[in-house]
Amino acid sequence: MAKELIERSKVEEKNTWNLKDMYESEKDWEKDVEEVKKLVKVVEGFEGKATKSAKNLLSVLDTYFEMLQKLIKAHEYTARLFDEDQGNSKHQSMNQKMMSLYVDVAGKTAFIDPEIIATSDETISSFTKEEKGLELYEKYIKEVRRLKDHTLSSEIERVAAMTGEMAQAPNEIYEAFTNVDIEFPSIKDENGEEVRITDARFVPLLESSDRRVREDTFKAYYATYKKYLNALSATYSSEVKARIFNSKLRGYGSNLEAAVDANNVSPAVYKNLVESVNRNLSKLHRYVSLRKKCLGVSELHMYDIYTPMIKDAAKEVTYEEAQETIKKALAVLGEDYVKLLDEAFKNRWCDVYENKGKQGGAYSTCAYGCHPYMLLNYNNSLDAMFTTAHEMGHSMHSWYSNQAQPFVYSEYKIFVAEVASTCNEILLLEYLLKNCTDKKEKAYLLNHYLDSFKGTVYRQTQFAEFEMRTNEMQEKGEALNKENLCALYKEINEKYYGKDMVSDEEISYEWARIPHFYYNFYVYQYATSFCAAVAIAERILKEGEPAVKEYKKFLSSGCTDAPVELLKIAGVDLTTGAPIDAALSKMGEIIDELEALV
């Protein structure tokens, strides 16, 4: 583990993403930016007459989506440059320029949806018959009109769009502070050497077999956050207030309703998940008890939750080894899938290692017409290999959708965004378990499987419950100050982990380090997606090609239907509690299996 982060300029090129695949030069990017500005002016010219004729409607939609495709690509370029090193002032300025352009474009094109909504069904139908080109946009128009009750007049939509940059401010402040400004202290590692804590190193340090390292890391990390709780609670409260403004403006009953409706999902799906997981907390409590037993401690603390339960079984996994293992594990998805994986690894779709100023965590993103890009902070661990497989799942989902769908339908909804990524993880884990002959190594992998359930189903639902309750508090006029946020978070944490876990005081500050609380009710989808992915992976392993074919059809569907309906293509029905129940039942079986081994 490097003691200090290296400068971006010192990272080997082979371990960086190749942004020249997007734009060969900055001048090429600038050309697209200027083209976007020209196309926006053309779109503006249709205001007040977008649906006066079939020809007008086709022209405005054709021009709008041509512009939007270029805008997204131009923004993706600057966002990737910015995330390489968020301390680079030039790239920061370029990215801010694109964000401002996004807001400007949103305001100038805000009339389109209201004018489509204000047009009668009969007129829209006649337009489609008159202009065959409009057949492409039938599903888009239907989706726009689905939100009729929550779409405002052109004038108010323009004003609402102008607030977009302000609404992003809490998240921008949070990211600037946590990614660039905040500095954590150093602690002594297992060898007594000084290691500076960073966000990317936090969990790996908590995975240490040395309990003193875990405790020191945990306490030093959260002691740093404790200093800034007033500022971070004000930042989060501002985020929730911005959501309240938007949901009230659009006539929704709550922030939750507004957030999930954007993906054509019922709030009942969200609430059912929280209720189902709460009913099954006994399995998480069993997991905690088993962890306490395996670690052989009289008290289990929150800093003990990441270290492997099975000691001395962890293996270092280099990035090169991870690539080969991932390709073997995902061979069940077909030669075409493996060929794509190979291309991604060889042709620099990934930015691999941590460097100074780089965005923490991991993600996959994609602009239509170009291959996906993945940001990693690889650290030679088993978790890092799974993260790589996870992000590759996102990338393959994007690639298949982009290849099969026109731009207007290429971007899949957030609700299904975590299915392909999690399915990759499960297939990798099942592959490793199948090919494992060592009892201790098998126990270690089962531990990892359980940690996936804990981290993705239970932990994300814990976050989802916290987010739901904090939004409800603010909607009722209750203050989201540091005292209320910390008390609520600790209360929920104690409920989830049960009596065998000591919910240390520091854990009440954890909400302050979770960036997803600025993603507007995003995290519940990790849990629903994990449950769906468990079902899909089991089908693929049991049924083979027929299940793979249906799965790839799902991957290729973009946003051509409601996400809950698209999942049915792959054999998963989330309108019922069956996938969640089945996944948690699977967790119970894994606990049984691990208990028998230890």
What element of type H or E holds 528?
helix 524-543
Give residue 315's pLDDT: 82
State how far the Cα of 227 lies from the Cα of 176, in Å rounded to an integer: 17
State how far the Cα of 146 lies from the Cα of 149, in Å rounded to an integer: 8
Which DSSP state fits 577? S
Give residue 163's pLDDT: 86
| CA neighbor of 415 nearest in space, from 520, 519, 526 | 526
The dihedral through the CA atoms of 237, 238, 241, 242 has a sign that is negative
| CA neighbor of 97 nearest in space, from 120, 71, 117, 123 | 71
Contact assessment for residue 131 and residue 196, using Cβ atoms and an 8 Å cutoff: no
State how far the Cα of 483 lies from the Cα of 357, in Å rounded to an integer: 31
Contact assessment for residue 302 and residue 218, using Cβ atoms and an 8 Å cutoff: yes
Give residue 575's pLDDT: 80
Give residue 3's pLDDT: 58
Q: What is the DSSP string of 406-435?
A: -GGGTS--GGGTTHHHHHHHHHHHHHHHHT
Contact assessment for residue 329 and residue 337, using Cβ atoms and an 8 Å cutoff: no
| CA neighbor of 454 nearest in space, from 283, 296, 572, 294 | 283
According to DSSP H, which parts of 45-135 are helical?
A: 54-84, 89-108, 112-117, 121-130
Question: Parallel, antiparallel, or unpaired for β 300-301 and 501-502?
Answer: parallel
Domains of the chain with CATH codes: 8-167 (1.20.140.70), 169-182+228-315+414-598 (1.10.1370.20)
Contact assessment for residue 262 and residue 270, using Cβ atoms and an 8 Å cutoff: no
Locate tokens 């993705």: which residue?
A: 456
Q: Tell me the pLDDT tens digit for each residue of 188-222.
A: 999 999 999 998 899 999 999 999 999 999 999 99
Based on the residue annotation, tell me whether 465 is a catalytic residue of this protein.
no
Per the structure block, which two tokens stand in for 58?
């086709």
> What one-letter code names the amino acid at 209?
S
State how far the Cα of 351 lies from the Cα of 80, in Å rounded to an integer: 10
Out of 76, 157, 391, 510, the active site residue is: 391
The dihedral through the CA atoms of 176, 181, 187, 191 has a sign that is positive
Per the structure block, which two tokens stand in for 301?
């603390």
| CA neighbor of 452 nearest in space, from 517, 399, 499, 387 | 387
Question: Parallel, antiparallel, or unpaired for β 501-502 and 373-375?
Answer: unpaired
- Own/partner pairs, 344-347, CB within 8 angstroms, 24+ separation: 344/371, 344/372, 344/374, 344/392, 344/395, 347/18, 347/21, 347/371
Contact assessment for residue 469 and residue 488, using Cβ atoms and an 8 Å cutoff: yes
> What one-letter code names the amino acid at 543?
E
What element of type H or E holds 323?
helix 319-329
| CA neighbor of 180 nearest in space, from 359, 52, 35 | 359
Beta pairing partners, 375: 351, 363
Give residue 330's pLDDT: 98
Give residue 280's pLDDT: 92
Contact assessment for residue 384 and residue 322, using Cβ atoms and an 8 Å cutoff: yes
State how far the Cα of 169 lies from the Cα of 175, in Å rounded to an integer: 10
Per the structure block, which two tokens stand in for 534?
């468990």
| CA neighbor of 373 nearest in space, from 403, 349, 343 | 349
Give residue 1's pLDDT: 44
Taking the chain (598 residues) in runs of 10, the rounded mean pLDDT of each run is 78 96 96 97 96 98 98 97 94 94 93 93 95 96 89 83 87 90 94 92 92 97 96 97 94 95 89 91 96 95 93 86 98 97 97 94 96 96 93 98 98 91 95 92 90 94 98 96 98 97 96 95 92 93 96 97 93 85 90 92
